[in-house]
Amino acid sequence: MARVEMYTTAWCGYCVRAKALLDTKQIEYEEINLDDDPHFRQRLLDLTGSWTVPQILVDGKPIGGYTELWRLDKSGWLDEQLAA
């Protein structure tokens, strides 16, 4: 099974949605909460090329945020990748 990491903050509504989508599909993920990191935007930019949360990685590859996760789920890609 693929490794899923999600960078989040407590105040982010899209983070809540992304976690709910993964929870509903019973997909395990590692949540990396960035609330205590004053430089989290730079950290995300360096890691993923984007500075917004959530940022989701599948096997170390950035896939984007909630909207991209939702689109990948609807296309069937998410299930294919996580089943491999």
Query: For residue 84, what pLDDT band results from cuts at 50, 70 and 90?
Result: low
- Residue 63: what pLDDT? 95
| CATH number, position 53 | 3.40.30.10
Q: For the segment 66-80, what is each residue's pLDDT rounded down to a tens digit?
A: 999 999 999 999 988
Residue 46 belongs to what domain range?
A: 4-83
Q: Which long-range contacts (CB under 8 A, 24 or more apart) does 9-14 make?
A: 9/33, 9/34, 9/35, 9/40, 9/53, 10/35, 11/35, 12/53, 12/54, 14/53, 14/54, 14/65, 14/66, 14/67
Report the number of distinct structural domains present in the chain: 1
Tens digits of residue pLDDT in 16-60: 999 999 999 999 999 999 999 999 989 899 999 999 999 999 999
